Amino acid sequence: MKLSHVDIQKLFWKTALILLIIGVWFGVLASSKYLNVSILGLNLGMISLRPLHVTAITMWILAGVISCVFSFLFSATKFEFSTLMAFLQWVLFVIAIGGIFTSYFSENFGGREYWEFPPVWAFPLISSWILFVFNFYKSIFKVDKWPVYLWMWFTGGLFFLVTFMENYLWVFPFIREQYLVDTTIQWKSNGSLVGSWNQLIYGTAFYLMDKIKGDSGSSTSKSAYYLYFLGLFNLMFNWGHHIYSLPTHNIVKTIGYLVSMTEWVFLIKILYNWKKSIDIAMNHSHYLPFKFLMAADFWIFINLIQALFMSIPAINLFTHGTHVTVAHAMGTTIGINSMILLAGCCEFISSGIAFTKSSLKRMSYYFWTIQISLVVFVLSLNTAGIYKAIWQYNNANESFAELSLIINPWIMLFACSGTILALGLSGLALMMICQINSLRR
C-alpha cells in the first residue's frame, strides 16, 4: 500500500488528537488525586498519573507541530516531504509512546522531571525527530528567501534535538554527581526545549496569519525578523528564572533575569497592534482557524504579563514551586499552544471539506466551553498558588496536610473546571477526528 502525502498528514493529525484526548483525561484523573486519593486506588496513583498526563500532552504538542509542518510544507516551500521517511518517523514515534506508557503503567521509572520513563525510550523518540527534521529540512533548504515562519520551523527542529539530548546529560556520572550543575543543566535544557516547540508553533501561527490575510507581508517584514531573533535569544538564555533559588552561579541568574525582561518588547508590540488586531478580527470572525488564533492571542497577552512578573526574582521567590507556576504552564499549553495547533487542524480540514453549519455551531460551543473553563481553571490555580506562597512563608515547620486543607476549595474548583475543560477539548478533538476521517482528498 502506497501512502499519499494526505494520508500521512491525516495519520499524524489523528495521532495528535488522540493523544490530546488521552492527555486531558489523565489530567482529570490526576487532579482527582488532590481531592480523594482512593478514587483509583494507590495502584495507579499520582506517581503514574502525573507522568502519563504530562507525556500525553507533550506528545500531543509534538505530534501537533509535526502535523502542522507536514500539512503546510508544500504550500510554504513548493516542495513535498518524503512519505516513506514520514511513515517510518510515525512508527518510531508510536513505538516510543507505547514503551513510555507501558513503563508508566508498570511503575517502571528512571527518568527526570517531564521525561520520567527509562532512558531507553528516548532512543525511538529522538530517532523519530531526526527523521522529521531531515525530511522537512530537505524542503526548506531548497527555498531561496525564508519567510520568518521557515526560520522558526528550522530553529524549533534544531533546538528540540539539541536540548532533548542535553536533557540526558545526567546519564553521565560526571554531570549527575554535581547536584547544582546537574539541576542547572536540567532546567536549562527543559526551559529551552519548551522554547523550541514554541518556535514551531509560533511559526505555524505566522503561516496561518499570512494565509488568512492573503499576503506574505507580516512574515517577511523587518519587525518579524527582529521579533524572531529576540524570541531565539530568549529560547537560548531565558531559562534562569527556573532556578533563582538554586545556589548556582549568580551570573546565570542575572542573565536569565535581564533576558526575560526583554519580553516587555513582545508585550508592547501586542499592545501597539491591538487596534489593528481588532479590525482584522471583525473581518475574519466567521473563519474558524482565525477564531482559535484570536483565542491564542488573548492567552499570550495574559500569560506574558504573568511570565514577566514571575521572572522578577523578588516575586519568583514566593511564586516558585506553587500552583502559580502550574497556572502559567497550563495557561500557555492549553491557551496558546493547543489553540494554535487546533487552528492548524481546522485549516487542514477546511482545505479539504467545508464545515457544515451544524458542525460550526457545535465547534463554536466547544470553543467557548474551553475558553470559559480555562479562565476559571487558571484563576483557581493562581489563587491556590497565592495561598500556598503565603502559607509556606509563614509556616516552614508546619504539617503539609494543613496547607492541603486551606487550598482544598480552590483545588476543588480547579478539578471541576478541569473536567469541563477536558470535556470541551476532547469533544472538539473527537469532532475533528471525524472530519479528518471524512476527508476524501
Cβ atoms of 202 and 152 within 8 Å: the answer is: yes
318 binds another protein (CB under 8 A): yes
* DSSP type of residue 352: T
279 binds another protein (CB under 8 A): no
Member of 75, 102, 254, 285 binding another protein (CB under 8 A):
254
Pick 7 or 166: Cβ nearer another protein: 166
**Identity (one letter) of the amino acid at 214?**
G
Pick 95 or 312: Cβ nearer another protein: 312
Member of 60, 146, 160, 206 binding another protein (CB under 8 A):
146
Q: What is the dihedral of CA 193, 196, 198, 201, to 10 degrees?
A: -130
> Rounded to an integer, what is the distance from CA 313 to the centroid of its chain?
24
Cα 266 from Cα 301, distance rounded (Å): 9
393 binds another protein (CB under 8 A): yes
Q: CB under 8 A: which stretch of 286-294, 346-354, 357-365, 391-399 binds another protein?
A: 391-399
Shortest distance in whole angstroms from residue 316 CB to another protein: 8
105 binds another protein (CB under 8 A): no
Cα 350 from Cα 352, distance rounded (Å): 5
Contacts (CB under 8 A) with another protein, residues 28-87: 33-34, 37, 42, 45-48, 50-51
Shortest distance in whole angstroms from residue 236 CB to another protein: 4
Member of 29, 58, 116, 193 binding another protein (CB under 8 A):
116
Q: CB under 8 A: which stretch of 13-21, 242-250, 349-357, 420-428 binds another protein?
A: 242-250
431 binds another protein (CB under 8 A): no
* DSSP type of residue 247: -
Contacts (CB under 8 A) with another protein, residues 395-414: 396-397, 400-401, 404
Place of cell 547544582: 180
Q: CB under 8 A: which stretch of 120-128, 194-202, 253-261, 280-288 binds another protein?
A: 253-261
Pick 272 or 393: Cβ nearer another protein: 393
149 binds another protein (CB under 8 A): no
Cβ atoms of 149 and 199 within 8 Å: the answer is: no
- Please count the residues of the chain: 441
257 binds another protein (CB under 8 A): yes
183 binds another protein (CB under 8 A): yes
222 binds another protein (CB under 8 A): no
**CB-based contacts of 361, cutoff 8 Å, min separation 6:** none
Pick 125 or 295: Cβ nearer another protein: 125
169 binds another protein (CB under 8 A): yes
232 binds another protein (CB under 8 A): yes
Cα 347 from Cα 275, distance rounded (Å): 25
Q: Which grid cell is 60? A: 500531543
Positive or negative torsion for Cα 318, 321, 323, 325: positive
Cα 441 from Cα 433, distance rounded (Å): 15
Member of 2, 106, 214, 247 binding another protein (CB under 8 A):
247
Cβ atoms of 373 and 417 within 8 Å: the answer is: yes
Cα 385 from Cα 313, distance rounded (Å): 17
377 binds another protein (CB under 8 A): no
Shortest distance in whole angstroms from residue 294 CB to another protein: 29
Contacts (CB under 8 A) with another protein, residues 320-339: 320-321, 323, 325-326
CA-wise closest residue to 269 among 217, 227, 234: 227
Q: What is the dihedral of CA 235, 238, 242, 247, to 10 degrees?
A: 130
